[in-house]
Structure formats: structure tokens, C-alpha cells
Amino acid sequence: MPESRSRIPFLLLVILVAVAALIGGAVARMLPIRSHEPEAPRLLAGASDASLAPLVRKTAPAVVNIAVLQPSPAEQNPLLQDPFFRRYFGVPDAALQPAMAAGSGVIVDGDRGFVITNFHVVRNAEAIEVILKDGRKYTAELLGAAPSLDLAVLKIGAQDLPTLPLGDSGKLQVGDYVVAIGNPFGLGQTVTSGIVSATDRPLGQGDTRRFIQTDAPINPGNSGGALINLHGELIGINSALFSPSQGESAAGNVGIGFAIPSKVVKQVLAEAERAPK
């Protein structure tokens, strides 16, 4: 009898351990599995599928197309105005017609109708027309220009326009997501996306200007368009692209584009506002 009594506590201990293991397994199956990996960040707050569509809907109306009437080659070259010269060298009559060029711009002050674009888009323009995303068209006047910075400020006679707020380009980091909106090849408003590839990038030796480099596709016609961060702020004006091809007609995107930082845009806007009218 004493020996059988000594086995009872041992058997109870085994039973208790088995029951505890069963209960622990059941609880583990009921609880969610927690990963030690951090959750991937969402690109846009409130976007269930991380789509850029909400950002584009908010910002795209402030990006405009710009149509520019430029002088004809004959107006710029007196020799072409001579009919005998044209006949001798076989210059076509089309050389006498004014040329049309297309670019992009951004509304930065919708209450006063201020539009920022590249200076090279409106250089030597005889007439400038700003076309909004909704199809409205306005004749624009050149309010101010900074040729050395390749920026120009236009003014149109409209109020209560959609506006892109200026962001702080100084806070940009390599790897930040960006969206480019413009009018490539005159196709109409087009949206592309990418990341910041570099900051404070000069375009060549001796160039004192510093650009934002991005791999968001930028093509001819995007000049003057918007480079936007994921907060819906304007952090750059798309200005140039790098292409190994020779000639403007052969130029195309190879993933290296450049934008003028918003801090430079702020300076040019302030100077245009101070200029005597």
C-alpha cells in the first residue's frame, strides 16, 4: 500500500502537464500569428490598394498645358524675307509661317492667376495660351522671367483656380516617391511616377544650378510641368532630360530627368511679385 500511494502524486503531475499542453496548443491556435517584420508602409493614407489615383485627382487640375506662338524663321532671319533668296535656295513657304510649340505649366496662385513654367517654353513667344485640364483657355502675359534659372511666371485673367502648394524641396531624400505631370509630345496631360534619384545635381561642369534628378519619365513637352511629392505638394518644375540620342527630335526618356527645386521657384515668384508693374 505505501508504494501505490507514492505513485499517485506522480500520476497527477503527468496528467496536469498533459492538460496544460493541450490548453496551450488550443490558445496558440486561437491567437493570430504576429510577425517580427515591420508592416510595409502605405503609399497613400486611406488608399486600400496603395494607388496614386487619389493624389492625381487632387493635384492634376493645377497642371496646365501651354501653347506658344513663336516667330517664323523668316522673322528671325532677314535673308529669309527676301523672295529671291528663298527661291534660289529652295526655302519652302512654310518657313514664313509662325511656329507652334507646346509645353506645361503649374498654377501656383489660383487667386491671382499665377502660372510657373520654364523660360525656354515661352522664349520669344508672340502669344501664350494656357489650357486648363477642364478645357478652359486663357491668354497669358509674361509677368516675370529668370532666364538663367530657366523659369518664367505667367499671369492669366482668372480666379479661384486649382492651386498646387509649394513644398520644401530641401527635405527631399534619395528614394522618395515622386509623380510627374505634364504634356509630353503635345499628347495632353500625362502622369508618370518614380523616385528621387539624386538631389543638388548640376547638369554640367561650371553649372551653378542644382537640380532634382528623378527616374519618373520626363519627355519633350513635360518642360514646365509639376514634380509632386506624396503629400500633394509641388517640389520641382520638370525642366530637362538626359538622352544619349543626338537632336531634339530623337530625344526620349532613358530614366534620367531633372527638375528645378521648389525653393528656387519660391525665389522667382517673390521677385516677380516685387517687380514694378
Task: Catalytic residue, from 150, 169, 193, 239: name it.
Answer: 150
Mean local confidence (pLDDT), 147-159:
95
Q: Where are the alpha helices (DSSP H) in the chain?
A: 2-30, 53-59, 73-76, 83-89, 119-122, 262-274
What is the pLDDT at residue 27? 46
Residue 231: active-site member: no
Task: Catalytic residue, from 104, 223, 239, 262: name it.
Answer: 223
Q: Mean pLDDT: which of 23-32, 164-173, 178-187, 265-274 is highest?
A: 164-173
User: Which of 142, 160, 163 lies closest to 152 in space, CA to CA?
Assistant: 142
CA distance 218 to 84: 43
Q: Could you tell me which residue, 104 or 81, shows the higher pLDDT?
A: 104
Read off the pLDDT of residues 200-213 as tens digits, 9 standing for 90 and up: 998 777 778 899 99
All domains of the chain, ordered by start, with CATH? 61-156 (2.40.10.120), 169-274 (2.40.10.10)
* Least trusted range by pLDDT, from 64-78, 100-114, 218-232: 64-78
Residue 160: active-site member: no
Task: Catalytic residue, from 72, 120, 176, 243: name it.
Answer: 120
Residue 6: active-site member: no
For the beta carbon of residue 149, count every other beta carbon within 10 angstroms. 18
